[in-house]
Amino acid sequence: MTFVQIDNLRVKYGKLEAVKGISFSIPKGALFGFIGPNGAGKSSTIKVLATLLKPSGGTASIGGIDVAKNPAKIRRNIGYVPDFFGVYEDLTVREYLHFFAAAYRIERAKREGLIADALALTDLTGKIDAPVDGLSRGMKQRLSLARVLLHDPELLLLDEPASGLDPRARIEMRELLKELQRLGKTIIISSHILHELAQLCTRIGIIEAGQMMAEGPLDEIFQRLNLMRVVHVQLVNATDELVASIKALPGVAGVEPQADRLAIQWREGELAVEDLHESIHKLGGRMRMFQPEALDMETAFMKLTEGKTA
Amino acid sequence: MLNARYIPSLPLLAKELLEISARKRTYVLRCVFATMLFIGFAVAYVSASSRSSRALDMLGTGAPIFEFLFVALFIGIAFFMPAITAGTITSEKEQGTLVLLMLTPMRPWELVAQKYLSRLIAMGGFLLLALPLFAVALSLGGIDEDSMWAGLYLLVVTLLQVGAVSIAVSAWCRGSTMAFFLSYVVVATMYLGIPLIGEVLRNSSMYGRSYGNGLLTGTILDVEHWQFICPAFLFDARPDGRVLLASVPAWISVAAFLLIARFALIRRAALTGANPLLRCFRWLDHAFNRIDRRMGRKVAVDLPAMDPVAWREVNRRSLANVRYLVRIFLPVHVCLFFLLVGMGTNQVGGDGYAVLSCVLLSLSVLVLVVMGAGVVATERSQQTLEVLLTTPMSARDIVRQKVRALTRMRWVLTVLLLEILVFRLLVETRSRWDDSSDVARVLGAAEAAIVIPPAFAWMAAWIGLRVRRHGRAVIIAIVAAVGWSVGVGLLLLAPLLIFEPSDHNPIVLFLLLSPVAFVGFAESGEISRLPGGPWVPQLLACAVYAGVWWYFRSRSLRNADDLLRRDGPT
């Protein structure tokens, strides 16, 4: 079921057209990764959905409600985390969350419980009375997520949530997003960290110079681009004959011997990964490791984009 | 040609001058300054020429025009120099670039000197606009060479002094808003407050009730020396050539403020958190809460109920919380009370009260203008506005809640102004309270205290809604406030002096459009002599200022959605 629908969306800043008629749809419960270089139009599209920008043309709707026509209704149903933290440094965590609970008109009696739940989910319970300006970047980002969870929105709009975070904070953020997806939230996330999006997203959209270059589930995009995949195989008996036999398998494009393994490139459309495993086994290969590499989003990104900006 | 190695490398100065020249507001400020100066000059010239029927009679009338130019430029420096200087170091702090500058081989002195010099050059450019006017005044004759050089010298000292104050405050403060406000407060204290206190003390027993036979007369603490901090007061010292010597305290103050700037630049480079007073009050709150807990009393948790933006504005961002207002204004009330009692017992008279009222009203307007301009601009500069705009609160509601602290502060300041008025009433009732003009005068002053501050506050809030950057919003709001107060008065005064209508001509009532003129008429009681006086001018002024108040308020609230989402596409 389509939850977010964007049709021929255009956003202009004076003479500059930042978004040039993009269209896509996102089903309910999906985690949609929005990828593109700086100035591609990602933030402008997310701001339209967050009711911060009025589109110059086209339509955007969330849950069947037009964003431009009913911004007040939309705001009750979305949670927006900007690419900067946007937190009030003069408040404590408790005060900050109460502030937004009041802004979302949540009943006073329910606030404490909701805040406790949001803090537990974002692992900030111990920081409830800490001043916001004393939190680390990762904690501030998690606090921003706790803020958008207070009113239980169906759609989360996260603009570069992992930028500037250290590896640990990024991993924590990723786990948190997975948890939110399990809770049934539809999430739109823009990011530059491609391999993280590959691990996380159910669908992606690649945007450049205000135009959508590709959109859909990651597997589909790879098939469409006819990109090769890589599997790392450790063989106990990696003889030259065996390597040559693997190379000759239909669908296999190449075998690169590495220090302790073979990197086998193959076309997923021609040979399923389980069939490749079975074929190597049939050839007499005794496998210690068989590890398909995650889809190479960087390759897809580079193939689809040319580094242009709007 | 100079060898390049003999030219000192001043990269920061070059960058500052380039930035100043690239800013639109430099030219806007210069135009506003020039307009006010030239109109003022025209008024002074017409006033001087009206006394002479023939062209030759004008000869020798240059002195009053020169004195006008001196005073106008002095006021211009006092108003414009803080506006262009106060944000110079705070803006670097806000953008996080000061620390980067300090990592370069430039020493702190060089940073302060180059920043200071850039603003002196910019303001010097403003002052050059007066050169042709000085030439006209000189060509009319009546000015001796000593006066001319003394005047120019004192203007330079004023420029250096106000610049030094502003740069020191800029190095001291964390944010531009506080720096702007504090610069004006320090300048006002130096140029108005100290002479006023000196005037009160002059009549006190320490100096002898009739000045000249008291305990401190003739000593270093003699009030005679007090005014030397303000170069403008030294103009009278010119005939016997004491200007250089008399200006030594002013030079010492310049050096002292530059020293403060040098040391504050490093020690206060990376300030975080709320302003010190707010921090101090919060610390007190925590201490009281701890005591309450130990004594088994229940401690009330201060959290937002239904108006979160107003709650934060009142309780966390400003000092508009009732508890904090009491802590601040109780000592202020006590000081004011003693000052008023001192003025009453020393028979300073109505003029003293009027001056005090005007100073306090000016400061109140300044506080409200700076606060008003920052109401939304700070939210923009801290990048929290977007988050706020995605909540279900309407933009109108956000603006309405944002100005809540401003309204509280306005009422507190109005109460202070009314307190002076009540005192004046009590003192004057003892001596004279004979006709209805006294009632009108008191009502006029009360009206000025009640309607002028909100008009300025909402005007500044509206400017803050329209202008994206905080520093720029504050400067534009200050320039608009000065332009309205002084510029409008000058614009209206010029045709009145040229066409010389009779005192009963209703056209004179247009002067009430200038807040300065209105306050002057109200405080001096001259409002009774205006056409239809005293009640028609009162009602007219009330309607005008209430109208301005309503206009900016309704514009700000009605267009809040458009004003807050200004980055919307076209």
Nearest residue in A to B272, CA atom: A133
Chain A residues with CB under 8 Å of B389 CB are 51-52
Q: Which residues contact B348 (CB under 8 A, 6 or more apart)?
A: B199, B200, B203
pLDDT band at B199 (very low <50, low <70, confident <90, very high): low
Do residues B424 and B433 make contact, with C-beta atoms less than 8 angstroms apart?
Answer: no
Strand runs labelled E in B74-221: none
What does the pLDDT read at residue B211?
46
What does the pLDDT read at residue A145?
87
Collapse the DSSP code of B72 into the 3-class scheme (helix H, G, I; strand E, B; otherwise coil) and give the result.
helix
Residue B240 has pLDDT above 60, yes or no: no
Whether residues A13 and B569 touch (CB distance < 8 A) is answered with yes
The mean pLDDT value for B417-432 works out to 74
Whether residues B570 and A56 touch (CB distance < 8 A) is answered with yes
Whether residues B570 and A12 touch (CB distance < 8 A) is answered with yes
Whether residues B273 and A11 touch (CB distance < 8 A) is answered with no
Do residues A302 and A206 make contact, with C-beta atoms less than 8 angstroms apart?
Answer: no
Which token pair is B508?
């004179």
Q: Residue B459, Cβ neighbours under 10 Å: how many?
A: 25
DSSP A96-161: HHHHHHHHTT--HHHHHHHHHHHHHHTT-GGGTTSBGGGS-HHHHHHHHHHHHHTT--SEEEEEST
Four-CA torsion A114, A119, A125, A131, nearest 10 degrees = -100
Residue B4 has pLDDT above 70, yes or no: no
Whether residues A104 and B391 touch (CB distance < 8 A) is answered with yes
Using CB atoms, pick whichever of A88, A95, A102 lies closest to residue B384: A88
Candidates A17, A84, A90, A104: best to mutate against B (most CBs of B within 10 A) is A90
- When comparing pLDDT for A269 and B155, which is higher? B155
Q: For B66, phi and psi rounded to 5 degrees?
A: -60, -45
Whether residues B391 and A55 touch (CB distance < 8 A) is answered with no
User: How many beta-carbon pairs below 8 A join chains A and B?
Assistant: 97
Chain A residues with CB under 8 Å of B383 CB are 82, 84-86
pLDDT tens for each residue of A103-134: 998 988 888 999 999 998 888 889 888 988 88
Residue pLDDT tens, chain A, 310 long:
789 999 999 998 888 888 999 999 999 989 998 888 888 888 899 999 999 888 999 999 999 999 988 888 899 899 999 877 778 888 889 999 999 999 998 988 888 999 999 998 888 889 888 988 888 888 888 898 899 889 889 999 998 887 777 777 778 888 888 888 888 899 999 877 676 777 788 888 888 888 888 888 877 777 776 667 788 999 988 888 899 999 999 888 889 888 889 999 888 778 888 899 999 999 999 999 998 876 666 667 776 676 555 5
pLDDT tens for each residue of B489-533: 777 776 666 666 666 666 677 778 888 888 877 777 777 777 777
Residue B207 has pLDDT above 60, yes or no: no
- When comparing pLDDT for B107 and B535, which is higher? B107
Q: Residue B122, Cβ neighbours under 10 Å: how many?
A: 22
Position of tokens 């508009």? B320
Question: How near does any CA of chain A get to the CA of B562, in Å?
Answer: 11
Q: Which residues contact A103 (CB under 8 A, 6 or more apart)?
A: B308, B309, B388, B391, B392, B393
Question: How near does any CA of chain A get to the CA of B471, in Å?
Answer: 20
The mean pLDDT value for B374-381 works out to 82
Task: Tell me which H or E stretch contains A232.
Answer: strand A228-235
Question: How near does any CA of chain A get to the CA of B275, in Å?
Answer: 10
Q: For B480, phi and psi rounded to 5 degrees?
A: -65, -40
Candidates B303, B312, B385, B397: best to mutate against A (most CBs of A within 10 A) is B303
As a whole number of angstroms, the distance between CA B148 and CA B131 comes to 12
Does residue B210 sit at the A interface (CB-CB below 8 Å)? no
What does the pLDDT read at residue A271?
82
The whole model's pTM is what? Answer: 0.75
Does residue B376 sit at the A interface (CB-CB below 8 Å)? no
What does the pLDDT read at residue B298?
72
A289 phi-psi bin (left φ>0, alpha ψ -120 to 50, beta other): beta
Of B222-236, B275-289, B500-514, minimum mean pLDDT range = B222-236
As a whole number of angstroms, the distance between CA B255 and CA B268 comes to 19
Q: What is the 3-state secondary structure (H, E, C) of B414-467?
A: HHHHHHHHHHHHHHHHHHCCCCHHHHHHHHHHHHHHHHHHHHHHHHHHHHHHHC
Question: How near does any CA of chain A get to the CA of B312, in Å?
Answer: 8
The H-assigned helical ranges of chain A are 42-49, 71-75, 93-103, 108-121, 137-149, 167-182, 194-200, 218-225, 240-247, 273-282, 297-304
Chain B residues with CB under 8 Å of A18 CB are 569
Question: How near does any CA of chain A get to the CA of B317, in Å?
Answer: 7
Question: How near does any CA of chain B get to the CA of A136, in Å?
Answer: 15
Chain A residues with CB under 8 Å of B316 CB are 88, 90-91, 95
Q: Which residues contact A214 (CB under 8 A, 6 or more apart)?
A: A204, A205, A206, A221, A224, A225, A300, A304
B460 phi-psi bin (left φ>0, alpha ψ -120 to 50, beta other): alpha
Write down the mean pLDDT value for chain B: 79
pLDDT tens for each residue of B443-488: 777 888 888 899 999 999 999 998 877 777 888 888 888 888 877 7
ipTM above 0.95 for this complex: no
As a whole number of angstroms, the distance between CA B183 and CA B88 comes to 12
Q: Exposed/middle/buried for A134, CB within 10 Å: 0-12, 13-18, 19+?
A: middle
Does residue B391 sit at the A interface (CB-CB below 8 Å)? yes
What is the maximal distance between C-alpha atoms in chain A?
74
Nearest residue in A to B385, CA atom: A86
Chain B residues with CB under 8 Å of A72 CB are 392, 394
